[in-house]
Structure 1
């Protein structure tokens, strides 16, 4: 009989987080866990082959990565703005950043 592993699949939205605990057979992949979670049906905008990246405990993982017991699979939403581009734009505009963000003129 195949061993059973416990994993969680999570998807964070701006206002809430979905966390689905699962018991799956040993050898299950990241893709299979996401499909078994039901989150793809609940949120059709998730595209694990395109815009959404996947990870295990904040480290990027490929969909064919085999899971271990107690892994947490994370579905990441695409960035709205590129942080590097935002910093470059701010620098081009001559704004000085203070600790915590915003411009230094506000202090």
Structure 2
């Protein structure tokens, strides 16, 4: 029998963040956890564990926090420029 582990899966949306804790068999991958989370996966372009980018086939460990990454709406440098211009 395979041992179980618990991971947190996090999805940040523009005005909301969703987080679920799930139990999976040890050795499951980032893609496995994302699929099992029940969170909407449309538009996901990658994964990170505790802020470090990982591949879909990366095995997770007990206690990991898997972050589902979405594409940036705008380049961060451009966003800062626009905010600075509005502040003047």
* Residue 42 (structure 2) aligns with: 45
In structure 1, how many angstroms separate the alpha carbons of the residues matched to 2:8 and 2:25? Answer: 13
Q: TM-score, normalization: structure 2?
A: 0.84
For 1:102, the equivalent position in structure 2 comes to 84
As a proportion of its length, which structure holds more strand? 2
RMSD over aligned CA atoms reads 1.9
Mapped to 2, the partners of 1:24 and 1:60 lie a distance apart of 21
User: What is residue 12 of structure 1 aligned with on the other side?
Assistant: 12
Q: CA deviation at 1:44?
A: 5.2
TM-score by structure 1 length? 0.70
Deviation at 1:60, TM superposition (A): 0.2
Tell me the distance in 2 between the aligned counterparts of 1:76 and 1:14: 12
Gaps of 5+ in 1: 91-100
Q: Does the residue aligned with 1:33 lie in a helix, a strand or coil?
A: helix
Q: How many residues align?
A: 85
Q: Check 1:46–1:67 CA distance in 2 against 1; reply closer, same or farther (3 A cut).
A: same
CA displacement, residues 66-107 of structure 1 (integer Å, 9 cap, x when unaligned): 0000001001121111234x28xx5xxxxxxxxxx615x83x
Q: Distance in 1 between matches of 2:9 and 2:43?
A: 13
Matched residue of 2:68: which SS?
strand
Change (3 A) 1:80 1:8: same
